[in-house]
């Protein structure tokens, strides 16, 4: 039996769609022109990523587990692969996004020099978003994780291969390639 995004995040969150609200048409729009920083997107009352996920989560590290053996273990025993999380109709992450992603940079757009710029000038680093105790993304995931590749398993060659061979923008992926995450969950 496949767990839903709601089950992964906890009872307090009805669905990923509700988190973004009904008015969010695409990832571009929800990050887009009207948002100065990722913090504003989450709301003024959100002090840390912990609060977003719920009171029971002390840190992002605790969500993933002490050792982070596999991405599968993070999500639970009933989830065999990322494919199962997304639903039976999804053969690969590539299919979700569409037929071509040249690089993660291209997905986000030509004007994005770094993840910092995406979030806005107010955000100095990903560390600040998650809290003072997080020195690096590696520390968030745990000491045993050398790279994102290791988290996903030896069979994952690169983030690029996971996404596929070339989408012009993340917005186009979401708008043209996918009706909605809600419809995927129902699929």
- List the structure tokens of 156: 């994952």
Residue 122 pLDDT: 33
Mean pLDDT of the chain: 39
Residue 187 pLDDT: 56
Chain segment 142-169, per-residue pLDDT in tens: 433 334 434 344 333 333 333 433 333 3
User: What whole-number distance in Å separates Cα of residue 67 and Cα of residue 142?
Assistant: 6
Terminal CA-CA length for the chain: 14
> Does position 55 have pLDDT exceeding 50, yes or no?
no
Chain segment 78-135, per-residue pLDDT in tens: 333 443 434 433 333 433 343 333 334 333 433 333 443 433 333 333 433 443 333 3
User: What whole-number distance in Å separates Cα of residue 187 and Cα of residue 183?
Assistant: 6
Please count the other Cβ atoms lying within 10 Å of the Cβ belonging to residue 73: 13
Do the beta carbons of residue 59 and residue 128 sit within 8 Å? no
> Does position 177 have pLDDT exceeding 50, yes or no?
no
What is the pTM for the complete model shown? Answer: 0.12
Residue 121 pLDDT: 34
> Does position 70 have pLDDT exceeding 50, yes or no?
no
Residue 180 pLDDT: 43
């Amino acid at each position: 039996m496949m767990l839903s995004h709601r089950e992964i995040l906890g009872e307090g969150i009805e669905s990923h769609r509700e988190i973004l609200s009904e008015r969010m048409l695409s990832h571009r729009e929800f990050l887009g022109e009207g948002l100065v920083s990722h913090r504003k997107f989450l709301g003024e009352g959100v002090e840390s990523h912990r609060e977003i996920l719920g009171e029971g989560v002390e840190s992002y590290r605790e969500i993933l587990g002490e050792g982070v053996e596999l991405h599968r273990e993070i999500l639970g025993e009933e989830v065999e692969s990322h494919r199962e999380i997304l639903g039976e109709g999804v053969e690969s992450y590539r299919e979700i996004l569409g037929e071509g992603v040249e690089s993660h940079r291209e997905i986000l757009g030509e004007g994005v020099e770094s993840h910092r710029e995406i979030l806005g000038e107010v955000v100095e680093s990903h560390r600040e978003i998650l809290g003072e105790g997080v020195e690096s993304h590696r520390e968030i995931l745990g000491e045993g994780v050398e790279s994102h590749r290791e988290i996903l398993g030896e069979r994952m060659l690169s983030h690029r291969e996971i996404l596929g061979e070339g989408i012009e923008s993340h917005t186009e992926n979401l708008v043209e390639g996918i009706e909605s995450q809600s419809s995927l969950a129902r699929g």
